Structures are given as structure tokens and as C-alpha cells.
Amino acid sequence: MFDANIKRIREQKGLGVNELSRISGVNASYISALERGEKQNPTITILKKLANALEVTIDELMKSEPINYDKLADWDDKHHCSFKEDYFDGEFKTAESAMQFILNQPVIMGFGGFDVNKMSDDEIVEFGNDLLGVLKTLGSKYNK
């Protein structure tokens, strides 16, 4: 979603990648890699530069659609982890499945300052399950 947002907003503003690079001071190849989804964890500094150049908020750059069961199942299929085994009762069981989920949440990694490389497998599973809990709470609160 983040990658599509940058490209969509850039195109709506009538800017090419090189023009956005010139205005923002962010390397054009890095912007292209973000738009293609090859780079997924830009620093807050990069996000601020892009948001300022595009005249939007960082929130607008990071905006994503709500997560629901079908989207989570599609994500699971795409990442080749077993949804029924790893998420059947509403929580992750393995560090691998939790890690895949965490790393595909660029806003968490970008703003939270979390370093999964310094976490144990148990901490990764707990962190992934905590994230799911927060998302479930937000979903029930805002899903009307």
C-alpha cells in the first residue's frame, strides 16, 4: 500500500520520479525502489522529505486499507506460510510467521524503532501477537 500511495500521489501531482527526487532530495532510484515495493522500511527522515515534497502528511503516505480475514489469508498465501497452522486460533505460533507479518508492516518498523534482529524467537512471536491484538481492537472499534 505504501508503495502504491507514493506513486499515486506523485502521479496526481504530475511529478516524475526525477522531479520528486530533485524536490525532496531523495535519490530517484530509491524512490523507484519504494514504489516497486523493493524497499519497504524508509527512515522517518525519508518519509518527511517525501511527504513535504508531495505536500501531504506522513499519515497519508502510510495510509492502508483495513485488514480483514480475507486479506490476511491472501497475505498468508502470498508469503507461503500456513494460515491454518500459524494463525488458526488467532495468534502466531512460530517466529517465522510472526516475523513475516511484522516485516510487512512498514509503519511499525519505520516509526516504532523496533529491531527484530535483536529479539529472540519468543519475543518475535509475542510482538506479532501483540500487533494482531491491537489491530483486532482497532478493527472492532472502527469497523462499522
Mind listing the pLDDT tens digit for each residue in 66-106? 556 666 666 566 655 444 445 545 677 777 777 676 666 66
Domains of the chain are 2-62 (1.10.260.40), 69-142 (no CATH)
**With 0-12 CB in 10 A as exposed, 13-18 as middle and 19+ as buried, what is 18?**
exposed
Residue 82 grid coordinates: 500456513
- Per the listing, cell 527512515 goes with 43
pLDDT band at 10 (very low <50, low <70, confident <90, very high): very high
pLDDT digits (tens, 9 = 90+) for 37-59: 888 788 889 989 999 999 998 88
DSSP secondary structure letter of residue 116: G
pTM to 2 decimal places: 0.48
Taking residue 6's Cβ as centre, other Cβ atoms within 10 Å add up to: 24
- Per the listing, cell 505504501 goes with 2
DSSP secondary structure letter of residue 42: -
